[in-house]
Structure 1
Amino acid sequence: MPAQRKPEVTAEFMAYMANVLKPGSEEDNLMSIDEDEEYKYLYDEFRSEGKVDPTVMENEAKFLQSLQEGPLKPSPGHYDDEHVHVSTTAKTLTLKHWLISHPILVIDLDKVIYLRSAPDVVVNEFGVKVWGIGETGVGWTRDGHRKGASGTAYDHSFVCKYTDERLGLRAGFSVDDPLKFSAALEKAAHGITARHTYP
């Protein structure tokens, strides 16, 4: 595979990102976009052909297996689908099929700043991706049905902003059943769906 040339970041782009990415720093988000660029060809292949590199699938399977007795262990009132898992006992949100360099993301619900419907956070088609870091710094989990800001997959998507010293990104993801997902979140962390700090 030929080496991918990383795009140059202009001062205008950095100024734009500073306005778009509140709260959070443009530096953190630009760094994440830069790091994600290394895998751009894999994300592009998925977007255009729906193919996922076998090594990516192996990495995800390994991470999911290691979580089966931890955050993904079934519990009363939990929520689990192809994209996410909410543990009401561990009080965690696990995003499956996240970024290539970090295939599974487990978020402590007490670290969530907001968790809002994607249409409330990412408008039009700007920043919505089927996988990878979007233009607004949201790291999107893999969902081939979420193409642009339209359709059921987009309407069933959420964006979560959380505090983490290493992973300061906002994460975007789909769910199969938004009502059951929200109910499980409320059971795990009462009031979490009412947090409306704006991006």
Structure 2
Amino acid sequence: MDTLYHQTSQLILDTSALFYKLENEPNAEAIENEIQARIKQINTNCERLDVLVFKTPINQRPMAKMRVDQLKYDNKHIQASLTNAQNKRRRREQEKEEREQLLSRRFGNDHTAITVDYMAQESVSLQNSHRNVDEMLHTGSRILDTLRYNRDTLKGAHRRLIDLANTLGLSNATISLIEKRVAQDKYILFGGMFVTLSVIVLVIIYLT
């Protein structure tokens, strides 16, 4: 399990590094496809890890489960980042296409062309503002989803830690009870020895 865990963790790091290439890479779609393929591989590895968790010793199982949940969380974050990058790329392509369409238009005189050009620029600015607001809302929604998932993960980890603490607490109570019983048996042994010796001494004194 440790080998597969470290391989998956390294795959997440390598996948995250690919996002730096999306900014200046002209063939961004190919990188996006590569990232998506790695996300699927990470999902497959996490499913295998879920099976392996139940094969680990019981006392190590909560920690192993937490490690796998962290991998799933990181992979969801990568998927959200990929979706955001794809949306930005599509918006840039659409804006570029709209600018080309506006520049390709021909008008009857220069005054009309200048007027329409200003109107086109204003329209593009409004559209950009609208898209930016949509992007902010989308990003906020993704952040809220991520926080909800993180909260659920932390709650699950908290419950597992409480169960583990209760188990350890029961073991400590049992050990304390055993130690108390041993001390009581020791006192009984010494008391019995003292009484026996006292009886022997009294018998000897009485007979002599």
Q: Which structure: larger Rg?
A: 2
TM-score normalised by length of structure 1: 0.28
Greater strand proportion = 1
Greater helix proportion = 2
